[in-house]
Amino acid sequence: EAGVAQSPRYKIIEKRQSVAFWCNPISGHATLYWYQQILGQGPKLLIQFQNNGVVDDSQLPKDRFSAERLKGVDSTLKIQPAKLEDSAVYLCASTIRDRGGASSEQYFGPGTRLTVT
């Protein structure tokens, strides 16, 4: 079974530029998550999708971050314009389906390391 795929693996941009990250979850997984992991900290949830609908984006800085999952499969996270404090690893994860019961295992991709200079 193929895992969660992410690209690019590394990205360096200057502040005020824009950047996009792509994620392809495990086949058949309805729930997709984007996390931000700042150096020395644990991952923080940015947005959660159930199929192509957003179920939690309470911690997404919506003035500069956006995400979509138009066909309920792969997803794109965009930052526009980037700030220095956006330097982090952006992780994508998926799970079969979050029904709100006992939490099922989330499978993580390798992440995209973003450096904003």
Partner 1 sequence: GDSVTQMEGPVTLSEEAFLTINCTYTATGYPSLFWYVQYPGEGLQLLLKATKADDKGSNKGFEATYRKETTSFHLEKGSVQVSDSAVYFCALSEKSGGYNKLIFGAGTRLAVHP
Place of tokens 């005020």: 16
> Under the criterion CB under 8 A, does residue 28 sit at the interface with partner 1?
no
Stretch that binds partner 1, among 21-29, 60-68, 71-79, 109-117 (CB under 8 A): 109-117
Angle at 10 between CA 21 and CA 22, to 5 degrees: 15
Stretch that binds partner 1, among 22-30, 67-75, 79-87, 95-103 (CB under 8 A): 95-103
Q: Which of 24, 36, 48, 75 binds partner 1 (CB under 8 A)?
A: 48
Q: Which tokens sit at 115?
A: 């450096």
Extract the runs of DSSP E, i.e. beta strands, from the chain. Answer: 5-7, 10-13, 19-24, 31-37, 44-50, 53-56, 65-68, 75-79, 88-95, 107-108, 112-116
> Under the criterion CB under 8 A, does residue 3 sit at the interface with partner 1?
yes
What is the end-to-end Cα distance of the chain in Å, rounded? 37
> Under the criterion CB under 8 A, does residue 8 sit at the interface with partner 1?
no
- The residue ranges that bind partner 1 (CB under 8 A) are 3-4, 31, 33, 40-45, 48, 50, 55-56, 58, 91, 93, 98, 100, 102-106, 108-111
